[in-house]
Chain A
Amino acid sequence: MDMNQYLSMFIDESNDHLQSLNESMMGLEANPEDLSIVQVIFRSAHTLKGMAATMGFEDLASLTHQMENVLDLVRNNKLRMQDFIFDTLFKSIDALESMVEDITGGGAGKADVSSIVSSLQAIVRGEVPSASGAAAEVTAAASGNASAAQVFLDEFQYSVLEQSLQEGHQVLYVDVAIRKDCQLKAVRAYMVFDLLERSGEVVKSFPSVQDIEQEKFDYGFSLYYITQKDASEIQKMILNLSEIDAVTAVALDQESLRQMGQESAATAEAVAPAPVQEAAPEAVHNASPAASVHAKEENGKAAPARAGGTPSPSRTIRVDIERLDVLMNLFSELLIDRVRLEQLASEVQNGDLTETVEHMGRVSGDLQNIVMKLRMVPVDTVFNRFPRMIRDLAKSLDKKVDLIITGADTELDRTVIDEIGDPLVHLLRNAVDHGIESIADRIAAGKPETGTVQLRAFHSGNHVFIEIEEDGKGIYPKNVLASAVKKGAITQEQAGTMSDDEAYQLLFAPGFSTAEVISDVSGRGVGLDVVKAKITALGGNVTIYSTPGKGTNFSVQLPLTLSIIAAMLVRLGSEKYAIPLSSIVETGIVKQSQVRTIHGNKMLEFRGSHIPLVSLSKIFSIPDYDESTEEETEIVVVRKGERLVALAVQDFIGQNEIVIKNLGKYLPEVQGISGATILGDGQVALIIDPNAFIK
């Protein structure tokens, strides 16, 4: 079997399983008595092992196998979860992750896991001295030379099996191994089939019946079998034939059948030359998860309910992101032409033309939605590894930290997602290491001993904000300045004139650290410059808000990099500007008399509160318009997070889909302008960045 074509599937699924292992372990740690979580973990580990063994990654398989041994004891109430067990299991998951990473990178997935394996074995031995150790060895030996087999059920066979179950028949999954010295194995196989057909019906076999007849199989085969007899009886019957080495017959119920159906793509290891007594544990470890549960049933233990079940895999294809870029660019061109066509059609006033253009408009609207969605990925794909990271970090620092994640479904462009992970890891480590105080300090400061780190993602205007806020000790601008002066970064005079915000910005200077003791986790400042550089490179920005004694908030602003947005076009004199619709709260008209001056700033009463009124004509020094000469002014109220600002404009032109173009490399960052777009008449209009007006 050519494994390469399955490799990417294996990698994807392994990552999914590792992620679910991590999540479930976190859940279990919070709730150690919940055995249903153990089941979930066991199932993930088990599937992972099966896949790894099939793909020939034996280190991966043997490590997962050891984990299973421990988990098996736990779910059978033979072992209570304890801290050191959690730690060992987490370590195992880490080792698995690095192996999968190695495989992803083209490696063989080899790793020295002997120390973890031996500590896992120690855990197992601690409770049950010999039995499972022996089973483990058998299985390890078996998985080495067992031939890989896949048993797929198609929909028809599946429904036949299901129906038979409903009608009260037994559905068995039978594994038969023929002795290696057997001369006429096809005949033996025929005898088995013949025997089975006498008291039931073989629904599906692997290899297929034809292949078996032509001896196209190794010394074993598996089959689905409907009968009235029970598993042990069938097992005995087959064993009575000569030259049969081993038989396992496992009864399936509806639930496990469904599982098999869903996992028809998953592989089941079968057929091992092991004696019958040991075939049962063998099946537990090497067959598909469904079979494993039922082997347990045979041993007289009730199969615990399966929570959740495996989610049905979504059907996907992988596309080079560059192709998506090209698609996006082509679509942008199309959109500009569409706007132009719409304008021409409205000039020509031909009914048929207008109708066609309108239809094209609707189609391209749908197309646009699809094209944009293709590139968007929820930030959850980055966030999901953080709970585990924070847990480990808090543990190693002897702190208590709760991580609260909100807005994980916020979507960001794929390229941004790929880059944002490391900076966020850094900021989170900083938050836990330097932000949150030690338990003693927190109690002394009258705070709850468990610190909170909030990780928030939300949309605002043309941007996505990711905020990391902790309730730790906060940053004292005084200390930052003192440290900067000591390092010679700024002079004493400069320090005297710097605002708090400017002081915080110093933290992002290269090589700057205010931490008195730099721990191995992070030294605040060391690397913050890298964080800043990375985020800036993505077109984003980092801002620090801190209240000494209360906590710190690192706010990361990222561009959506949606290259097409809905915008409102406004006129200011002879110039046209576009304001992203997503940041507009509402539009309106205010009389000059409604504008108040508070402390030199123009303010406006808006829905019961006062918001600043910003004169775009002044900020952009527009030559031929000034709203202060008018009786009434049109305003656009824009929002960044919770904060609002009113922008004064001359006229509203209308709403349009616009394609964002950058201003070219030459132009420096223009404050208040986020880019440009090409209007239907071929002219360039600048896009206003409302966030720039809100501090």
Chain B
Amino acid sequence: MAEDIKVIVFKLGTEEYGIEVEKVQTIERMMPITRVPKTYSFIKGVINLRGVVIPVIDLRGRFGIEEAEHTDQTRIIIVNVNDMEVGFIVDSANDVIDLNRDIIDVPPDVVGGIRAKYLDGVAKIGDDRLLIMLNLSEVLNKGEIVQLESLEG
């Protein structure tokens, strides 16, 4: 048996995603965001998190899903990857689960490929819940943004 890991579970639309808990600094409620002009459309701006200015990304926008109105459930997950602090806007974040690495499968080859890159694997929890494990370095990799934007355009 491989080790157990703790995973923060959040939702985008109907799909459930997971981020390892060590990479998450805090989870915040929605707060005023200052727009930063002349940048990618999914970068919503910057927030003041207790004296530190942190850029915020709408994960829906990042994955090319249609952006949604913010609700009471909307959360900003602050992650720290490769010394970069970034906030992710997600539809909701309300669960922490223990997961054994063994049950994380390699992601299936999705047609179109780009979204699959952001995935570390897929874990089946319970009978019909699938948890998508995010590859944060890829999510924050800006080299690919150009490609994504041009596909969208």
Binding site for B on A (CB under 8 A): 333, 336, 575, 619-622, 661-668, 670-673, 676, 678, 682-686
In the bound complex, residues from chain A placing their C-beta under 8 Å from that of B55 are 663-664, 666-667
Q: Can you show 14 pairs from A to B with CB atoms below 8 A apart?
A: A620-B38, A622-B37, A661-B52, A663-B53, A664-B46, A665-B83, A665-B84, A666-B55, A673-B36, A673-B38, A676-B46, A683-B32, A686-B34, A686-B46
Shortest CB distance B6–A (Å): 24
In the bound complex, residues from chain B placing their C-beta under 8 Å from that of A684 are 34, 45-48, 53
Q: Nearest residue in B to A622 (C-beta to C-beta)? A: B37
Interface of B: prevailing SS = strand
Shortest CB distance B17–A (Å): 19
- Mark each residue of chain B from 83 to 102: 1 if its CB lies under 8 Å from any CB of chain A, else 0: 11110000000000000000
Contact yes or no, A667 B43, CB < 8 A: yes
Instruction: Determine the distance from Cα of A333 to Cα of B48 in the docked complex, in whole angstroms.
Output: 13
Instruction: Determine the distance from Cα of A682 to Cα of B86 in the docked complex, in whole angstroms.
Output: 19
Contact yes or no, B38 A672, CB < 8 A: yes
In the bound complex, residues from chain B placing their C-beta under 8 Å from that of A664 are 46, 53-55, 84-86
Max chain A Cβ within 10 angstroms of own Cβ: one of B37, B51, B84? B37
Interface presence of B29 (CB below 8 A): no
Contact yes or no, B51 A678, CB < 8 A: yes
Contact yes or no, B51 A333, CB < 8 A: yes
Interface of A: prevailing SS = loop
Max chain A Cβ within 10 angstroms of own Cβ: one of B32, B46, B54, B84? B46
Interface presence of B140 (CB below 8 A): yes
In the bound complex, residues from chain A placing their C-beta under 8 Å from that of B48 are 678, 682-684
Q: Nearest residue in A to B40 (C-beta to C-beta)? A: A668
In the bound complex, residues from chain A placing their C-beta under 8 Å from that of B36 are 663, 667, 670, 673, 686
Which 6 A-B pairs give the minimum distances between C-beta atoms?
Answer: A620-B37, A684-B34, A661-B53, A665-B84, A676-B53, A666-B84
Max chain B Cβ within 10 angstroms of own Cβ: one of A622, A665, A666? A666
Partner of B37, one of A661, A673, A683, A685: A673
Shortest CB distance B106–A (Å): 27
Instruction: Determine the distance from Cα of A684 to Cα of B49 in the docked complex, in whole angstroms.
Output: 10
Q: In the complex, how many residue pairs between chain A and chain B have their CB atoms under 8 Å apart?
A: 73
Instruction: Determine the distance from Cα of A665 to Cα of B79 in the docked complex, in whole angstroms.
Output: 13
In the bound complex, residues from chain B placing their C-beta under 8 Å from that of A662 are 53
Interface presence of B39 (CB below 8 A): yes
In the bound complex, residues from chain A placing their C-beta under 8 Å from that of B129 are none
In the bound complex, residues from chain B placing their C-beta under 8 Å from that of A622 are 37
Shortest CB distance A614–B (Å): 14
Shortest CB distance A343–B (Å): 15
Partner of B142, one of A668, A671, A678, A682: A668
Q: Nearest residue in B to A671 (C-beta to C-beta)? A: B38
Q: Nearest residue in A to B46 (C-beta to C-beta)? A: A684
Contact yes or no, B37 A621, CB < 8 A: yes
- Mark each residue of chain B from 46 to 83: 1 if its CB lies under 8 Å from any CB of chain A, else 0: 11100111110000000000000000000000000001
Max chain B Cβ within 10 angstroms of own Cβ: one of A667, A668, A685? A667
Shortest CB distance A612–B (Å): 19
Contact yes or no, B34 A575, CB < 8 A: yes
Partner of A667, one of B39, B51, B52: B39
Contact yes or no, A663 B46, CB < 8 A: yes
In the bound complex, residues from chain A placing their C-beta under 8 Å from that of B52 are 661
Contact yes or no, A670 B142, CB < 8 A: no
In the bound complex, residues from chain B placing their C-beta under 8 Å from that of A667 are 36, 39, 43, 46, 55
In the bound complex, residues from chain A placing their C-beta under 8 Å from that of B124 are none
Interface presence of B35 (CB below 8 A): yes
Partner of B39, one of A668, A676, A685: A668
Instruction: Determine the distance from Cα of A668 to Cα of B48 in the docked complex, in whole angstroms.
Output: 18
Contact yes or no, A619 B37, CB < 8 A: yes
Instruction: Determine the distance from Cα of A241 to Cα of B147 in the docked complex, in whole angstroms.
Output: 98
Q: Nearest residue in A to B57 (C-beta to C-beta)? A: A666
Given contacts A664-B85, A664-B86, A684-B46, contact A336 B51 (CB under 8 A): yes
Shortest CB distance A675–B (Å): 8
In the bound complex, residues from chain B placing their C-beta under 8 Å from that of A678 are 48, 51, 53
Instruction: Determine the distance from Cα of A668 to Cα of B39 in the docked complex, in whole angstroms.
Output: 8
User: A664-B46, A672-B37, A678-B48 known; 5 other A-B pairs, CB under 8 Å?
Assistant: A667-B36, A668-B39, A671-B38, A682-B32, A685-B34
In the bound complex, residues from chain B placing their C-beta under 8 Å from that of A676 are 34, 46, 53
